[in-house]
Chains A and B, each alone.
Chain A
């Protein structure tokens, strides 16, 4: 009963009228994508918004405004944009799940040749299909791989049940037949040992396997269209590469793919056509070679320029927008450091420390055979590294490689089990915190989640004032700051204004609370706080991972400029090879607690020696030759 993989069974249930059903296992069936055939999805002038507000059609502004595209079977259309661009809402509107309180209008919205707009009301808002009609489309005609792969399967149910639900809803298979089919599906998306895995819950699976299970659940009822919303975002780059291969084979099987992503490199690998979205509008669209190879619109150019991969050290990634665009981008930008022209390729600025460390210079930080275990897990395993003054050491590795623990050891927040760290030639760890405290100003830190690193009660001004008042030197001297009266307070106030200016924030920011700021602004405050005690080295742990590419570019440029101006050294921790390559003089590659390779950035990136480094490089998505 388990042997006959029943191909014909998958035709049952749905209302599959015109298009043929394509099998998932046989990879090279002649695809149904003759260019002349009707598109599987046709969107024309789609507008989506939220907040119908009053009952008389007083609707909120559109967050998706006039999106049009056609998706053919066996082709991939990608929508690219930053957060708030409306790309996810577009994807979800296609299955009628834009969200509670949303409205939708369109000139045409067809799935499999049939309109899903329903009747249109007097106010022009589409009534949409009935709930039951939508349910026949969801999963059966359009599969949706939603964002946040890690939490998109019910943690209380086995993944086999989750995937089987689509079959239960859209086919008339018996429970036993469903189980057979689920196993086939898991096999077809590259899940190892599917019979075992289908009884596990998502919490028992790694990120990559969860994403495969999610894809299997979206493909279960054999839809002709698959929408994938940021399907590779939370994954390590090696896993990301394998998931992308999976999508390529899905596409090759004749499924139409709508791919939503912020990552241009990923898009360049998978898409045939690209739509670039910004603030709800499509600013540019066309074949991938044209849009990414020869962009017309300023915004597309900005996005492309913001990608750090392969951009030499010192070359700015961000560009000030033209006057019209600046008006619509109020939160970001460097209002006080607009010296850089929007030239296509500005010349790299020389870094004072040069590319290589001369052995004569005393290392600022030197870690020797540092190890740290948590229970039975070795987080850091006999790691040695050296950071010279004024240079950047890039520490790159995937999640769980131990790079954050290593950063914390150097910050003196985690005590190593063995090995030593010296700071400026003097012992630093292990050491009693009290003995370390006087030298704390030498070292600063910037975290990935800036918001949680600020005391929620304090304003930006208070946070920076606090950082400017020196460290506690001995008994009770810290509270003496108040005794210094007006002059000290005045100096500190000037200091706050100076810091804000230096990181490109307006003086008014001082009275704001971090919660009210955008992600990029928070990271700027975080950088300002780290720089306040005039440190000689700053440990940056994934400082741009939570930011959009264009904001990331601005922050990276800011860090670069501050390094030149202040001669500060960085330990730059990141999972992103491109960012590390762009920022670092020296690179260390970490895996399972060990540094498998380290050396001058140029050498390591040009000639990676260790197999893992090479694997990492191969997996890193880049905008390939188009």
Chain B
């Protein structure tokens, strides 16, 4: 049941990202100072911000950038992790040793810190923060992919293929890679939710997307100065982030349970 709710939330998110006009026909950047700081009401269900922009419209239009950042960051992280993890698992002892040490070192820069280092080097901004989140999540994925691939590569059915006289290359293509890569889709699903949260955190700290943009993290950043007077400015963008992250997690877990054994 829960996964159907999750799929529904994600479908809504996707609709908001692709066709925001369907859900919110207004302009997310339209300023109306006379309507500033309105609390949630008919016409402005999520209220308005300091320039009188409609928060609901902005949340809907913010889905696209937030989702793109989340997906792009996850893609960077997963691709890097695939290279590292597969190389470590299949590349022999020397490669495995090297990659494992590298991962250990990267683990010493926990999550956000690695991202902050990257931002220190390349300066703040939406592109840097996306890359930073991708890089910061890669070590964790790489370790999971490495151990999954290793367990596939040492599975009895791989030996059964050897006994049938299959070559290494054919076993790799026919049995190891398909079985090792399938669980990666679960990782991606779980990862997108987390990436959205991390990217929003960077924006919230003023290191990611810049405030006028209708991006959830940037909206939070703009709203944090008015927390005491206009709670809706931070509450609703944050709720959108939480809903997306929870939905992705629930769906990821459902996929995980359904996966082969």
In contact, B167 and A478 (Cβ under 8 angstroms) = yes
In contact, B159 and A455 (Cβ under 8 angstroms) = no
A241 lies within 8 A of chain B by Cβ: no
Sorting the interface of chain B by its residue count into under 10, 10 to 19, 20 to 34 or 35 or more gives 20 to 34
Known contacts A456-B261, A457-B260, A515-B261: A449-B156 contact under CB 8 Å:
yes
B166 lies within 8 A of chain A by Cβ: yes
B157 lies within 8 A of chain A by Cβ: yes
B175 lies within 8 A of chain A by Cβ: yes
Min CB distance B183 to A, Å, is: 12
In contact, A472 and B170 (Cβ under 8 angstroms) = yes
Pick the contact of B162 from A413, A470, A478, A515 — CB < 8 Å?
Answer: A413
B155 lies within 8 A of chain A by Cβ: yes
In the bound complex, how far is the Cα of B165 from the Cα of A437, in angstroms? 5
In contact, A454 and B163 (Cβ under 8 angstroms) = no
In contact, A452 and B157 (Cβ under 8 angstroms) = yes
CB closest residue in chain B, given A455: B157
CB closest residue in chain A, given B169: A472
Min CB distance A542 to B, Å, is: 13
Min CB distance A454 to B, Å, is: 6
Pick the contact of A456 from B163, B167, B260 — CB < 8 Å?
Answer: B260
Min CB distance A517 to B, Å, is: 14
In contact, A445 and B261 (Cβ under 8 angstroms) = no
B164 lies within 8 A of chain A by Cβ: yes
B105 lies within 8 A of chain A by Cβ: no
With a cutoff of 8 Å between Cβ atoms, the chain B residues found around residue A440 in the complex are: 163-165
B25 lies within 8 A of chain A by Cβ: no
Pick the contact of A467 from B156, B164, B170 — CB < 8 Å?
Answer: B164
In contact, A533 and B164 (Cβ under 8 angstroms) = yes
A172 lies within 8 A of chain B by Cβ: no
Interface of chain B, helix or strand or loop or mixed?
helix
With a cutoff of 8 Å between Cβ atoms, the chain B residues found around residue A452 in the complex are: 155-157
In contact, A445 and B163 (Cβ under 8 angstroms) = yes
Residues 174-203 (chain B) with a chain A CB within 8 angstroms: 174-175, 178-179, 182
With a cutoff of 8 Å between Cβ atoms, the chain B residues found around residue A403 in the complex are: none
Min CB distance B161 to A, Å, is: 8
Pick the contact of B163 from A443, A449, A472 — CB < 8 Å?
Answer: A443
CB closest residue in chain B, given A440: B165
In contact, B167 and A472 (Cβ under 8 angstroms) = yes
A529 lies within 8 A of chain B by Cβ: yes
Min CB distance B159 to A, Å, is: 6
In contact, A466 and B164 (Cβ under 8 angstroms) = yes
With a cutoff of 8 Å between Cβ atoms, the chain B residues found around residue A533 in the complex are: 164-165
In the bound complex, how far is the Cα of B260 from the Cα of A529, in angstroms? 21
In the bound complex, how far is the Cα of B170 from the Cα of A2, in angstroms? 68
CB closest residue in chain A, given B260: A456
Residue-wise interface mask of A (404-416) relative to B, using a CB-CB cutoff of 8 A (1 in contact, 0 not): 0000000111000
In contact, A478 and B166 (Cβ under 8 angstroms) = yes
In the bound complex, how far is the Cα of B260 from the Cα of A466, in angstroms? 20
B22 lies within 8 A of chain A by Cβ: no
With a cutoff of 8 Å between Cβ atoms, the chain A residues found around residue B174 in the complex are: 466
With a cutoff of 8 Å between Cβ atoms, the chain B residues found around residue A246 in the complex are: none
In the bound complex, how far is the Cα of B155 from the Cα of A223, in angstroms? 46
Counting chain A CB atoms within 10 Å of each CB, the highest count among B161, B166, B168 belongs to B166
In the bound complex, how far is the Cα of B163 from the Cα of A472, in angstroms? 12
In the bound complex, how far is the Cα of B159 from the Cα of A529, in angstroms? 13
In the bound complex, how far is the Cα of B168 from the Cα of A359, in angstroms? 38
Residues 42-61 (chain B) with a chain A CB within 8 angstroms: none
B160 lies within 8 A of chain A by Cβ: yes
CB closest residue in chain B, given A532: B164
CB closest residue in chain A, given B155: A452
With a cutoff of 8 Å between Cβ atoms, the chain A residues found around residue B175 in the complex are: 455
With a cutoff of 8 Å between Cβ atoms, the chain B residues found around residue A479 in the complex are: 170
A441 lies within 8 A of chain B by Cβ: yes
A309 lies within 8 A of chain B by Cβ: no
In the bound complex, how far is the Cα of B165 from the Cα of A472, in angstroms? 6
In the bound complex, how far is the Cα of B160 from the Cα of A433, in angstroms? 14
Min CB distance A480 to B, Å, is: 12
Min CB distance B247 to A, Å, is: 27
Pick the contact of B160 from A471, A478, A529 — CB < 8 Å?
Answer: A529
Beyond A433-B168, A457-B182, 15 additional pairs, beta carbon < 8 A: A412-B163, A437-B165, A440-B164, A449-B156, A452-B157, A455-B161, A455-B179, A456-B179, A456-B260, A466-B164, A478-B166, A478-B167, A529-B160, A529-B164, A533-B164
Binding site for A on B (CB under 8 A): 155-157, 159-168, 170, 174-175, 178-179, 182, 260-261
9 contacts across the A-B interface (CB closer than 8 A): A440-B163, A445-B160, A453-B157, A454-B157, A454-B160, A467-B164, A472-B166, A478-B170, A479-B170
The 5 closest A-B pairs by CB, nearest first: A471-B165, A440-B165, A456-B260, A472-B167, A452-B156
